[in-house]
Structure 1
Amino acid sequence: MAYLKEAFKLYKNNFLRVLLIGVTVLLPIQLIFTILINYVAMPFQYFNLPLWISIFQSIFMLISIFVMFIPLISMAAQDTRLGSVKTGKLYGDTIKYAFFAYLISIPVSILITAGFLVFIVPGVILLVLLMGIPFVKVIDDEKPKAVIKKSISFGKENFLSMCGVLLCFAAFDTVGSYLVTLAASILNGQMAVANWFLMILNMLVLPLFVFTVAKAYLVWNGETDLIQEKAYVQQLEQYR
């Protein structure tokens, strides 16, 4: 897939920035998520209600992901528009859009989780249609109503490809999580260490997923073609 190839290139060229964002944004958010879900899960564990634990895990995870997407989307957008990335803008965009992403992710996360509870397929459909929300907001800076509409349109028109991307990364994450958990069980059940390894794994893999979707969105909204057209016109003018 061309988008994945571009994502790899962006990841490779900005690996130190990816690590910086991972350590300063992605890892802390994951740590907060882990602490919160442990506290929330306590009463449900006491009353042996695992379903409710899974529900809150799903909701909190989706909320966290929406916020974590922001600096990575900004990185992909800068790379496409400018051919370079400014670290300061990554943090600036994170501060600018984090609250919006947090607020809108609450009802969206509940809706997607409900879809997964009813049956897996509705959850997947809702995820594909609504996961574009932070991409639309950061890249196009639209108002909430337009953000949702554009996200749904993007999801509809790229449904199969986005499902494929989700499936690939979900499979990789599942295998990685299994291997880390297995290693922890071998090492006398060191689950705390396993959790740290899982967070680091997510910190390294999530950027590639976001870059792939962001590149797809930038093509879908026409921005990539417009930038290429402008560059082509500039080249023609140089030869006149």
Structure 2
Amino acid sequence: MNLVADGFRLYRERFLSILLLSFTIVFPILIVHALMTNYVYAVTSFLDGGVVGDFTNGMLVLLFLMIAQIPFIVFTRYEQEGSEHPLRSTYFAFTQRGFSAYLFAMVYCALVVAGFAVFIIPGLIIMILLFLTPYISILRDQPMRRSWKTALRLGKKHFVRIFLLLVLVSLAELILEFGVLYGMSYVTTNYLIILFTQMVLNTVLFPLVVIIITMHVMDWKRKTWL
């Protein structure tokens, strides 16, 4: 619980810097995601009832998730280490690690989708076991290709904790988001306004989720000498 409180405190104290990071990195990614998924739904919905659109949406969510969380993992680390210019250093680190994160995300998505295609459980297991790879890469200052084995070991050791952490923080975000959108439905039914509101909410709340997860991974790192 202390780690969650620490995450909230960092989020509150550095809110403007985190918001700047999120609106310059996460928000553009969400716009691209919305454009791509809506285009696919529009083109294919009359053929298969939206199956292709759902598949594309799932792939893009995983892909963009792996990329979008990078700056907040870096920012949290720099803040915890007392870096002199954490915001500027985060942007610089993102430009360095963005492409490698994209390559890993492509492989990660392919493995998870293959697992879900075989059966739901293998896909879920793969998703959790390799989820911490970007965190390990950043916290240990090493390439993604050298981090997945450590992430795999950590994933096996803390499988239930990682699963519960992802479920709880995601559920809390979804409940808050649902509450706001439900209230918006009484004000307007315009799809673009609702979509824009949803993207803004995700832009504001997503960093908090990543910060809380990063706090836990840093704690596991200290305890297990990763």
Q: TM-score, length-normalised on structure 2?
A: 0.88
Task: Report the Cα offset of residue 177 of structure 1.
Answer: 4.2
Structure 2 alignment gaps of length 5 or more: none
Structure 1 residues 107, 24: closer, same or farther in 2, change over 3 A? same
Deviations 1:162-211, CA, capped at 9 Å, x for gaps: 22211112222332443354345444521211111111111122111111
Equivalence for 1:198: 198
Aligned letter for 2:220?
W
Give the Cα–Cα distance (whole angstroms) in 1 for the partners of residues 14 and 187 of structure 2.
34
How many residue pairs get aligned? The number is 226
1:9 is aligned to 9
Q: Distance in 2 between matches of 1:211 and 1:114?
A: 29
Which has the higher Rg, Structure 1 or Structure 2? Answer: 1
Distance 1:224 1:202, change over 3 A: farther
Partner of residue 76, structure 2? 76
| Distance apart, 1:117 and its partner CA | 4.9
Shift of 1:219: 2.0
SS at match of 2:147: helix
Give, in angstroms, the shift of residue 161 of structure 1: 1.9
Q: Does structure 2 retain, via aligned residues, the 8 Å contact 1:80–1:224?
A: no
Question: What's the counterpart of residue 172 of structure 2?
Answer: 172
67-76 vs 84-93, which moves further: 84-93
Q: Which moved more, 1:203-212 or 1:181-190?
A: 181-190
Deviation at 1:224, TM superposition (A): 10
Aligned alpha-carbon RMSD (Å): 2.4
- Give, in angstroms, the shift of residue 41 of structure 1: 2.8
- Measure how far apart 1:149 and its partner are: 0.6
CA distance in 2, matches of 1:169, 1:115: 24
**Equivalent residues of 1:73, 1:214 under 8 A apart:** yes
CA distance in 1, matches of 2:113, 2:14: 33
> 1:184 and 1:190 mapped to 2: Cα distance?
10
Aligned-pair distance for 1:60? Answer: 0.6
Match of 1:207?
A: 207
Describe how 1:112-151 pairs up with structure 2 within 5 A: 112-151=112-151
Q: Which residue in 2 is equivalent to 1:60?
A: 60
Is the Cα–Cα contact under 8 Å of residues 184 and 191 in structure 1 kept in the other structure?
no
